[in-house]
Structure 1
Amino acid sequence: MQLSLGPIQYYWPRPEVLSFYADAADWPVDIVYLGEAVCSRRHELRPADWLELAQMLQDAGKEVVLSTQVLLESGSDVSAMQRIAANGRFRVEANDMGAVRSVGSRGPFVAGLHLNLFNADSLQWMAGLGAARWVVPLEIGREGLPALQAARPTGLQTEVFAFGRLPLAYSARCFTARHHNLPKDDCGFLCINDPDGLLLSTREGEPFLVLNGIQTQSARVHSLIAEVPELQALGVDVLRLSPQSRHMAEVVSLFDAVRRGELAPSAGQQGLRELLPGEPCNGYWHGKAGLAQVQGAA
């Protein structure tokens, strides 16, 4: 089983992004996804910067994948996606059907989380378009995945989102800008001040959601570290770890130790708890509400 580092969901200053990936080159992750997948207005790094990082990580022995934006809102967004699809050097994660059409004829690609592949027919169709790996939708858990694993086309790898705040929805409206009473087109790029998103609580003070520009995330941090042996038994090829601003090296180290059998899943779960920016959850995997935390899973 491999570990992947998903694309950074948040807007971090350029020096922090460069430092993050310089460190990640030495982490025990096998695959690194790069690029701006959330908001086209975020320009701390330009396309040439992402390609330079990709080359550095490839030289460090990582498989590098360039992620396309999930929600395309303009002609310039489409042009940026097409440039990624035509990069000619690195595999692409297609996060919408336009990207699938653009990259499918250029070689194997990754079918991203937000393509919503929920059944065997859709897997067969996507593999026929050129997908070499698919990312399992968040809502598919231990009851639904075995059948899809049994029916998946030969050679199609399965990747599961195993750590990080859940990316629940995207909107044409920027909720971070709205929070600050600013229009989307004059947002001041204030999401750069929230390196792990902007927490939204209920009137009772209960953490509910996280605002991240046009993306809405869970307030709780999804983690399947206790379920790693079960995922291995199901033949899952890749576990995706979504970056957070602090303690990511330690998070990767714990997942690596558990996948290698060097650390008990329960001990990994306990060690991980101190590294999270919010309460943990694993409900979707266990057929519960996504924000639920099922205990004793290890």
Structure 2
Amino acid sequence: MNDSMNEPSAAVAAVAGSFGISLGPLLYYWPRTTVMQFYAQVADSAVDRVYLGETVCTRRHELRHAHWLEIAQMLQEAGKEVVLSTPVLVESDSDIACMHRVCEQTEYLVEANDLGAVNRMQGRAFICGPHLNVYHADTLAWLSGMGAIACVPPLEMDRTALAALAAARPAGTDLEVLVWGRMPLAFSARCFTARHHRLRKDNCEFRCLEYPDGLVASTGEGQPFFTLNGVQIQSASCLDLCAEVPAMTAMGIDSVRVSPHASATLDVVAALAALRSGERTAAPGGLLPAGAQPSNGYWDGRAGIAWQEEHA
């Protein structure tokens, strides 16, 4: 056997140790015991930064603010950097109260997911969530002046736009890119899961609990197209840009984000960690949530649902 087969490739060696691994906020509604068990496993994983909190629907009360703080303390004691995320669609008194609780605590860094949260931070350090829609450096510079120290760019940015943002960003501002998970596409005042069950939003019977990875909706031709997740619409496919991590680190991306799902999440984290350390010579492939197909179209400026095998 050729000894070179046992050595990391040049691309892997170039990225070894050069990017952080983040776990985004949990977007689905899971029972409290399931959430606690999941984050106990996260504590033993290679994740560097963990985002916590309810970002989709504040009617989801399996975990309240005190429970998220309990998880945050456990993860911090395990050596993880903890970030508390604010809700994305702030439209009710409960949404506002939830956002205020997150922003007013000072023990953990905050991911601001709307401009109300940015204003509430009052100049303290925060991370720009992907829903602030930071597409160019002027916007990032403005937010940096308001306290932003890192940013998660919108998931639909292609490689050229992302490289331009990385090159022109304010000094000292980190960039974190979503590389794996169903893509959050839109939010609405209407609850799509409740409507599917012919229920009103304020009497939804918490049906989201029945769908640990969301409810997939198909076109008339039977093609999986969207995933219904309460007031959130996601892709039915799973974004998989793990093969692009070397290219991302070359353009200056600091961290890659994995979105939590009911399956495969920590396997992807482990594979990325192996890639980072040089133990793995290729990006993880074939690791997907149950029933999902991969997609990477946005990376090349194509339809997001597209999948180009050669990238993997």
The interval holding the TM-score normalised by the smaller chain is over 0.9
Alpha-carbon distance in 1 for matches of 2:291, 2:253: 27
Q: Which secondary structure state, in structure 2, belongs to the residue aligned with residue 55 of structure 1?
A: helix
Deviation at 1:104, TM superposition (A): 3.8
Alpha-carbon distance in 1 for matches of 2:247, 2:137: 21
Alpha-carbon distance in 2 for matches of 1:247, 1:226: 16
Partner of 2:3: none
Does structure 1 retain, via aligned residues, the 8 Å contact 2:259–2:265? no
Does structure 2 retain, via aligned residues, the 8 Å contact 1:229–1:259? no
Q: Which secondary structure state, in structure 2, belongs to the residue aligned with residue 18 of structure 1?
A: helix
Alpha-carbon distance in 2 for matches of 1:277, 1:162: 18
Deviation at 1:294, TM superposition (A): 1.4
Partner of 2:220: 203
Alpha-carbon distance in 1 for matches of 2:187, 2:62: 21
* Residue 103, structure 1, aligned to residue 121, structure 2: yes
Alpha-carbon distance in 2 for matches of 1:208, 1:247: 21
Alpha-carbon distance in 2 for matches of 1:216, 1:260: 35
* Residue 58, structure 1, aligned to residue 104, structure 2: no
Partner of 1:278: 292
TM-score (norm. length: structure 1): 0.96
Q: Which secondary structure state, in structure 1, belongs to the residue aligned with residue 159 of structure 2?
A: coil
Which of 110, 114, 119 is the equivalent residue of 1:92? 110
Does structure 1 retain, via aligned residues, the 8 Å contact 2:53–2:85? yes
* Correspondence list, 1:129-140, <5 A: 129-140=146-157
Equivalent position amino acid for 2:94 in 1: S
TM-score (norm. length: structure 2): 0.92
Q: Which secondary structure state, in structure 2, belongs to the residue aligned with residue 163 of structure 1?
A: strand
Alpha-carbon distance in 2 for matches of 1:104, 1:234: 31
Size of the alignment, in residue pairs? 294
Equivalent position amino acid for 1:45 in 2: L
Which of 153, 157, 171 is the equivalent residue of 2:170? 153
Q: Which secondary structure state, in structure 2, belongs to the residue aligned with residue 204 of structure 1?
A: coil
Partner of 2:64: 46
Q: 1:223 to 1:276 in 2, by over 3 A?
A: farther
Deviation at 1:276, TM superposition (A): 4.9
Does structure 1 retain, via aligned residues, the 8 Å contact 2:258–2:265? no
Q: Which secondary structure state, in structure 2, belongs to the residue aligned with residue 265 of structure 1?
A: coil
Q: Which secondary structure state, in structure 1, belongs to the residue aligned with residue 119 of structure 2?
A: helix
Does structure 1 retain, via aligned residues, the 8 Å contact 2:218–2:224? yes
Partner of 1:11: 29
Deviation at 1:88, TM superposition (A): 1.3
Alpha-carbon distance in 2 for matches of 1:119, 1:71: 22
* Residue 269, structure 1, aligned to residue 285, structure 2: yes
Alpha-carbon distance in 1 for matches of 2:56, 2:223: 26
Equivalent position amino acid for 1:291 in 2: I
Does structure 2 retain, via aligned residues, the 8 Å contact 1:221–1:276? no
Which of 161, 186, 189 is the equivalent residue of 1:169? 186
Partner of 2:86: 68
Equivalent position amino acid for 1:269 in 2: G
Alpha-carbon distance in 1 for matches of 2:36, 2:273: 23
Deviation at 1:120, TM superposition (A): 1.3
Deviation at 1:261, TM superposition (A): 2.8
RMSD over aligned Cα atoms: 1.1
Runs (4+) off by over 6 Å:
none
* Residue 178, structure 1, aligned to residue 195, structure 2: yes
What is the CA deviation profile of residues 261-295 of structure 1, one whole-angstrom value per residue up to 9, with x for unaligned ones?
A: 322335x224x25x554000011111111001112
Identity among equivalent positions (%) equals: 53
Deviation at 1:184, TM superposition (A): 0.4
Alpha-carbon distance in 2 for matches of 1:15, 1:86: 27
* Residue 118, structure 1, aligned to residue 132, structure 2: no
Which of 208, 216, 221 is the equivalent residue of 1:191? 208
Alpha-carbon distance in 1 for matches of 2:278, 2:240: 18
* Residue 233, structure 1, aligned to residue 239, structure 2: no
Partner of 2:5: none
Q: Which secondary structure state, in structure 1, belongs to the residue aligned with residue 269 of structure 2?
A: helix
Does structure 2 retain, via aligned residues, the 8 Å contact 1:225–1:265? no
Q: 1:190 to 1:276 in 2, by over 3 A?
A: closer
Q: Which secondary structure state, in structure 2, belongs to the residue aligned with residue 143 of structure 1?
A: helix
Q: Which secondary structure state, in structure 1, belongs to the residue aligned with residue 157 of structure 2?
A: coil
Does structure 1 retain, via aligned residues, the 8 Å contact 2:167–2:251? no
Partner of 1:293: 307
Deviation at 1:260, TM superposition (A): 2.7
